[in-house]
Amino acid sequence: MDFKALVLAMSPETYQSLLDTVATGRWADGVALSDSQKAHTLQLVMAYQAYVLKSTEPYTIGADGEMVIKSKAEMKKQFSQDSSIARFAHDDL
């Protein structure tokens, strides 16, 4: 099985577990990751985001392995179309 096939076969639960592992630097049982485990786990998380989630975040890794950086204009356009953003007046907080 090649790397891309492995990533595409990964379940969302496995991805979430790896994401939590990268964020905390520890496996679910509390054991700290080695430097090589950190690098490989992060690589898997980034590949899943690129190939499966096709993330629309401003800074992501694209399916070609290159960093995707959205311009300010692209982000403004995306957020102006997104009606799920909560907006508050100063006195509401």
User: Phi and psi of 45, rounded to 5°?
Assistant: -60, -45
SS3 for 49?
helix
pLDDT tens, the chain, 93 aa long: 788 899 999 999 999 999 889 888 999 999 999 999 999 998 898 888 888 887 666 666 555 656 666 666 776 776 666 556 666 777 776
Distance CA 10, CA 13 (A): 8
Task: Enter the DSSP assignment of 31.
Answer: P
Can you give the pTM of this predicted structure? 0.60
